[in-house]
Structure 1
Amino acid sequence: MTTPLRTLGAGLLLLGLASVGQAAPQHALTLYGEAPKYPANFKHFAYVNPDAPKGGTLRQPGTGSYDSFNPFIPKGNAVDVGLIYDSLTYHSPDEPMTEYGLLAEKIDKADDNSYVRFILNPKARFHDGTQVTADDVVFTFNTLLEKGDPMYRHYYADVAQVVAEDKLRVRFDFKHKENRELPLILGQLQVLPKHWWASRDFSKNSLEPPMGSGPYQIAKFNPGSSVRLERVKDWWAKDLPVSRGLYNFDVIEIEYYRDTQVALEAFKAGRFDVNLEYSAKDWNTGYDCPAKRNGQFVQEAIPNHNPAGMQGYVFNLRRAKFQDVRVREAIALLFDFEWASKQLFYGAYKRTNSYFANSDMAARELPDAAELKILEPLRKELPPQVFTEVFNPPVSDGSGIIREQSRRAYQLLTEAGYRIENDKMVDANGQQLSFEFLNFQANLERVILPFKRNLAELGIDLQIRRVDVSQYVNRLRSRDFDMTSAIWPQSNSPGNEQREFWHSSSADNPGSRNLMGLRDPAIDKLVDGLIRADSRKALVTHAHALDRALLWGHYVVPNYYVDTWRVAYWKRFGRPAVTPLYDYGLMSWWEERPAGTPTDPVTPAQEAN
């Protein structure tokens, strides 16, 4: 466990580090030491309007409910409170992997990547006016490791210690020098106020509004149904280059809806302002209403340059029935994407064929010499197809008849010891191959039902179990599911989070993203190699190796993705001329016309008034 060092040993270590080569402290961090897009004297980002007016209200939806304002622990269903806290650095959504100083005025990274030092801005303040210090950073880091979600222990696994060198300087020392992403990951640390938490139990859920140092604070809430954030008018960072033109709304209101269908109807009625749409059917047919036809709100597909990652139906390998790769492959063969694309998706989606889809990190060719150098030592531990075939999901003709896939699935299941008996696919003990699909999204059932029919034709029983959001979250954390829908998002520079996704060390941690329960020494080695990649070229090569090993393990039924942000919004807002490459930039918008003006529909609440 990481603890601050305030001993003679720490002093000797500091002396040792003084001899390590280092450059002068910088205003920004990049992954491989390349120059950032914006120089030290930049005034604002290109994707903002630095003179955007402040004021007005942004109304947003939440799904389900909430019972906590503490998202850092593996309990409850917490509100996203990211706007309440400042982090050490600000991740630029206009660059693949660059972070600029926020709480940290300067960043000092050792040339050999043995440590990183953050030099805090002396102006940084929490909302009660207390200065943000190095002790707060140390407290935050140690508290997350000791009491936070288990993912933090994986995310920060390569940190040896954290040291408050003085009031404004905090240093993180690393266990080894190969994890080039670690300084940037630490820069994303949202700093908690040590003095505020001194009289509170961090490990428990709470609906007490927390204290932070960010641009907003919780002003009012109705437990489980709504939250009102108000802009901190004297926010300490409002004039920094990383903040100019952002956080323009005086108020952000979040109202919670039972599911996405209810939320869509509320959006069309003018109950909230911006809806990020995930359903192709709803995007194509669900928004038709008088307000849309009158031009009161618009739908816009904004290009999304982020890697799509993997979306799929994940097998819980903790279940004995899914431990045979042939069973998993057979089940995956019975998902007919082409039929769904034509009948359900309006041709809007692309088939997911990689854990790094929509990026150069996807393994779309046979391994080259550089990749084989990584894979060859693991040949006996990996599926043979890793070396001989490019993974591609099955392709049907879209007719809904998948005879070839069904024949292949039947062959695989018989090889795995199954047989047909009384129209049921049974194992050696006469038990039918059956499993439950855990779901909380009403609109996903229309996609699962054709999959269920295809399975049934081969004698496999799939039961769809729909639960509310709280039950869903709790069952995922306790690993109480057979199959469910999951997404593993990827950045342009994947790194430490891969341990949380696929590494054996995260398989048994409640709440980790290793939903499948994957424990594979070969995958572990590939993950470690990717994290330690020392150049962009090496990173891509390691990603290719990891990608094909995961694909040929058939741990998920690959689904589909879209390479745009599908955003519907009421015509009340101004937007900068430039949209960042890796986000749709909502926090750079501003209000031009208040909600409830004559061109807006009258809501029931307004009628009551």
Structure 2
Amino acid sequence: MTRTQIFRTIAILGAALGLGFGPHEAWAEPRHGIAMYGEPALPPDFEALPYANPEAPKGGRIVVGEVGSFDSLNPHVLKGSVPWQLRFLTYESLMGRSYDEPFTLYGLLAESIEVADDRSWTEFTLREEAAFSDGTPVTIEDVMWSYETLGTQGHPRYLGTWSQVESMEQTGPRSVRFTFNTENRELALLIGLRPILKKAQWDDKDITQSGLETIPIATAPYTVTDFEAGRFVELTRNPDYWGRDLPFMQGQANLDTIRMEFYADAQVLFEAFKAGQINSIRETNAETWETQYDFPAVRSGEVVKSEIPHKRPTGITGFVMNTRNPLFSDWRVREAMIQAFNFEFINETMTGGRQPRITSYFSNSQLGMTHDPAEGRVAQLLQPYADNLPPGTLEGYTLPEGDGSARNRQGLRAAMRLMEEAGYTIDQGRMLDPQGRPVSFEILLPTSTPEADVGTIVDLYLPALERMGIEVDVSRVDRAQFNRRTEAFDFDMTFYTRGLSLSPGNEQKLYWGAAAADTPGSMNWMGVQSPAVDAMIDTILTSESREDFTAATRALDRVLTAGRYVIPIYQWRESRIAHVKELHFPDRIPIYGDFINFHPDVWWWEDDG
């Protein structure tokens, strides 16, 4: 598997912040940074982020491949398909994030941040030297316009935070204060991470309808300098970038050129890498990594295979079931679909059994649930909702294990028992629902899915469903139609991935909050509407101790996992990146590993010859 779609969805996680734990201290004075709890790890006079190399040379280029196409260069609105990297490479916010701390921000466009002791408001002061790529200064008017416009007309990911802003007011020539209407400790940090655009550029334009005709002007080190619709986008480092001397930016934005080439499918992309048309590629299939990366350039040392570990949660990747469809509204049917999914056989076929399965949404981290009965604070948080929790939430839930054989008879027997309990019957080899109608559903896949083996996984899954008497139609549609349908929740089952961080917060409402279930464009594809889920998210947002935060996240993990909304596949405990030998990254790896702002932000080009 390539990681393009995973990183695209993980990219949405750019709004998902982290937690730096420690005792909370009240302060209301300008500071260089802010942590969710306690103090930032870096002092005011820090020289660089700990995982960046301030001695890295400038120059060179990175060329990466993407599967699919694009028809817009504006990542801030719902319309269009946009290269996911643009939101992070070509825009800046008031604060910047350190990926070596679970949830700490340092001043970027803002020289300081000030918060109330109860975090009911936060105030930022702009750096006097902050400027857009066209050389014009960033003003408080630009900041306030960006927040209000994105909060009211922008992509749905911006709307939730803006709805919790009671007021926004200019408090000085370069200062702006946000007062919140909700008790939510994360807001003081979240509000500092919105992209800042140039107001004057949009005075006579409708930002919601922009696509390829207008490239938004921003402040980042890179600007879009060339593109061909659906084919490539090229970014160039701005030699006059305003923030090149900031400590936060030392060792970052080292490459002169970042180019994204688009291909029809993952195999074509891989062949392009072997041919030298692109010079860096992520690989998510361990079997492919071991068996297909032995071409001449690797053997000669011209191409290097790098493995980069991380300590972040697995997130959830697999096949999501839409509970808006009456078929999947019953947990027993969803469990039957999981039982019928022969993971052990599929994993052996696809990866040689090298990749372990995702066991919960926050597995592989300290925030993950245990599979034993809930205890202590976790049980206490869940107890008020005990009567309506999915079976296994309190008692303990573990994904089924097959015997590794192709037929998976044990799993199919369990699946059929569950369907029978739910009122389904078999008549002449066909499964009928409680009303006597034949059972059928659609699996929706994009034709341009970067995960070349997703279609193969579906093919391996179909025989089990057929043996159950279920008729399944696999629909492959182009990326634009896939986006439209998933944004409208117009599917039964589809491939789904949500990256999660060590810092779950407000984004959890967009992922699986009840309000998001009926909001087109939200990431709550499964349609979760659970008072327990909402309550656990609220507790995460208002916790004032590490213990409560961790317990609430583990409790949330239990409700989601026992909800059986997704058929999980394998997890990735490290990133596998093959690249030309001239591309380098620092020895010090942040706790998030190869996350959104690692490749290519802290990479550099150096000819070892």
Compute the TM-score of the two structures, normalised by the length of structure 1. Answer: 0.91
SS in 2 for 1:242: helix
Q: 1:115 aligned to 2:115?
A: no
Q: Which of the pair has more CA radius of gyration? A: 1
Deviations 1:341-387 (A, max 9, x none): 22221223221111112111111142223122211211222234322
SS in 2 for 1:380: helix
SS in 1 for 2:537: helix
**What residue is the counterpart of 1:411 in the other structure?**
417
**What residue is the counterpart of 1:62 in the other structure?**
66
Closer/same/farther in 2, CA of residues 155 and 286 from structure 1, 3 Å limit: farther
Counterparts in 2 of 1:186-265, with a 5 A limit?
A: 186-207=191-212, 208-265=214-271
C-alpha displacement of 1:494? 0.3
**What residue is the counterpart of 1:605 in the other structure?**
none
> For residues 387 and 580 of structure 1, what CA distance do their matches in structure 2 show?
34
Farther-moved stretch of structure 1 (579-588 vs 530-539): 579-588
**What residue is the counterpart of 1:508 in the other structure?**
518
**What residue is the counterpart of 2:564 in the other structure?**
554
Closer/same/farther in 2, CA of residues 414 and 195 from structure 1, 3 Å limit: same
Q: 1:591 aligned to 2:605?
A: yes
Closer/same/farther in 2, CA of residues 242 and 210 from structure 1, 3 Å limit: same
SS in 2 for 1:476: helix
**What residue is the counterpart of 2:440 in the other structure?**
434
C-alpha displacement of 1:285? 2.6
Counterparts in 2 of 1:154-169, with a 5 A limit?
A: 154-169=160-175
C-alpha displacement of 1:443? 2.1
**What residue is the counterpart of 2:390 in the other structure?**
383
8 Å CA contact 1:61–1:272 kept in 2: the answer is yes
SS in 2 for 1:560: coil
Closer/same/farther in 2, CA of residues 467 and 283 from structure 1, 3 Å limit: farther
C-alpha displacement of 1:397? 2.0
SS in 1 for 2:456: helix
Counterparts in 2 of 1:382-531, with a 5 A limit?
A: 382-388=389-395, 390-440=396-446, 441=449, 442-531=452-541
SS in 1 for 2:393: helix
Closer/same/farther in 2, CA of residues 541 and 465 from structure 1, 3 Å limit: same
**What residue is the counterpart of 2:29 in the other structure?**
24
> For residues 409 and 206 of structure 1, what CA distance do their matches in structure 2 show?
46
8 Å CA contact 2:342–2:411 kept in 1: the answer is no
SS in 2 for 1:75: coil
Closer/same/farther in 2, CA of residues 593 and 467 from structure 1, 3 Å limit: farther
C-alpha displacement of 1:62? 2.2
> For residues 475 and 300 of structure 1, what CA distance do their matches in structure 2 show?
37
Q: 1:370 aligned to 2:394?
A: no
8 Å CA contact 2:309–2:574 kept in 1: the answer is yes
> For residues 73 and 55 of structure 1, what CA distance do their matches in structure 2 show?
32
8 Å CA contact 2:58–2:255 kept in 1: the answer is yes
Q: 1:50 aligned to 2:54?
A: yes
Which amino acid in 2 is paired with 1:434?
S
SS in 2 for 1:566: strand
C-alpha displacement of 1:431? 2.3
Which blocks of at least 5 consecutive residues in structure 1 are unaligned?
1-19, 600-609
8 Å CA contact 1:48–1:245 kept in 2: the answer is yes
**RMSD of aligned alpha carbons:** 1.8
> For residues 41 and 424 of structure 1, what CA distance do their matches in structure 2 show?
70
> For residues 573 and 554 of structure 1, what CA distance do their matches in structure 2 show?
42
> For residues 27 and 350 of structure 2, what CA distance do their matches in structure 1 show?
56
> For residues 501 and 49 of structure 1, what CA distance do their matches in structure 2 show?
35
C-alpha displacement of 1:59? 1.1
8 Å CA contact 1:67–1:205 kept in 2: the answer is no
**What residue is the counterpart of 2:300 in the other structure?**
294
8 Å CA contact 2:348–2:354 kept in 1: the answer is no
Closer/same/farther in 2, CA of residues 229 and 524 from structure 1, 3 Å limit: same
> For residues 543 and 478 of structure 1, what CA distance do their matches in structure 2 show?
28
**What residue is the counterpart of 1:173 in the other structure?**
179
8 Å CA contact 1:310–1:357 kept in 2: the answer is no
Which amino acid in 1 is paired with 2:59?
G
Which amino acid in 1 is paired with 2:607?
R
> For residues 160 and 287 of structure 2, what CA distance do their matches in structure 1 show?
38
> For residues 586 and 423 of structure 2, what CA distance do their matches in structure 1 show?
61
SS in 1 for 2:394: helix
**What residue is the counterpart of 1:83 in the other structure?**
89
Which amino acid in 2 is paired with 1:366?
P
8 Å CA contact 2:305–2:578 kept in 1: the answer is yes
Deviations 1:89-127 (A, max 9, x none): 111111111111100111101111111111111110111
C-alpha displacement of 1:295? 2.0
8 Å CA contact 1:315–1:484 kept in 2: the answer is yes
8 Å CA contact 2:407–2:464 kept in 1: the answer is no
C-alpha displacement of 1:129? 1.9
> For residues 114 and 448 of structure 1, what CA distance do their matches in structure 2 show?
48
Deviations 1:300-325 (A, max 9, x none): 22102211111121111111211111
SS in 2 for 1:351: coil
8 Å CA contact 2:197–2:218 kept in 1: the answer is yes
8 Å CA contact 1:155–1:499 kept in 2: the answer is no
Q: 1:361 aligned to 2:367?
A: yes
> For residues 514 and 37 of structure 1, what CA distance do their matches in structure 2 show?
34
8 Å CA contact 1:361–1:540 kept in 2: the answer is yes
184, 187, 190: which one pairs with 1:182? 187
**What residue is the counterpart of 2:6 in the other structure?**
none
Closer/same/farther in 2, CA of residues 385 and 588 from structure 1, 3 Å limit: closer
520, 539, 545: which one pairs with 1:535? 545
> For residues 174 and 410 of structure 1, what CA distance do their matches in structure 2 show?
51
C-alpha displacement of 1:21? 6.8
C-alpha displacement of 1:150? 2.0
Deviations 1:368-419 (A, max 9, x none): 231222112112222343222x211001121223222222211111111111
Which amino acid in 1 is paired with 2:270?
L
SS in 2 for 1:344: helix
> For residues 209 and 417 of structure 1, what CA distance do their matches in structure 2 show?
55
**What residue is the counterpart of 1:104 in the other structure?**
110
> For residues 21 and 184 of structure 1, what CA distance do their matches in structure 2 show?
15
C-alpha displacement of 1:286? 2.9
Which amino acid in 1 is paired with 2:191?
L
Which blocks of at least 5 consecutive residues in structure 2 are unaligned?
1-24
8 Å CA contact 1:215–1:235 kept in 2: the answer is yes
Work out the number of aligned pairs and report it.
Answer: 573
**What residue is the counterpart of 1:40 in the other structure?**
44
8 Å CA contact 2:80–2:211 kept in 1: the answer is no
> For residues 382 and 52 of structure 1, what CA distance do their matches in structure 2 show?
52
C-alpha displacement of 1:273? 1.1
> For residues 60 and 167 of structure 1, what CA distance do their matches in structure 2 show?
42
C-alpha displacement of 1:428? 3.3
* Identity between Structure 1 and Structure 2 (%): 38
